[in-house]
Amino acid sequence: MTAVASDLAQRAANEGTSLDQARFDAYAEEARRRLGGYGDDADFAFALADADGDGRDDTVAVTVDAALPILLPVRWSGYSPTEFSRTMRARLEVFQAAGP
């Protein structure tokens, strides 16, 4: 799950500032395919953020929330986390034109 979220963040960052909800939806569907049945109930949230405070979005964040599979009967598992959440961030790649 962590590797998939990291890959999604980097792929989205490589698109620069041209990201929109349709692209985010496509990335979420790709992640579900890569995760197989584990990704069926996963939620993916994408956000653009201004990490350096200059007023421009420069980072894409991907948050993945999913239920963890439980392999043991509940009475045997004791306290075990049942949810998984990961946020991965990547800097946006923005083309810089060469100077004169």
All structural domains of the chain with their residue ranges? 2-91
Between CA 29 and CA 76 the distance in angstroms is: 34
pLDDT tens-place string over residues 57-70: 888 888 988 877 66
Cα–chain-centroid distance for residue 27? 9
Residues 6+ apart with CB under 8 A from 95: 16
Q: Is residue 97 predicted with pLDDT exceeding 80? A: no
| CB distance 88 to 2 below 8 Å | yes
| CB distance 69 to 42 below 8 Å | no
pLDDT tens-place string over residues 29-87: 988 898 888 788 889 898 888 888 888 888 888 898 887 766 666 666 666 667 788 89
Cβ density class 9-43: b for 16+ within 10 Å, e for less = bbebbeeeeebeeeebeebbebbbeeeeebbeebe
Between CA 57 and CA 39 the distance in angstroms is: 28
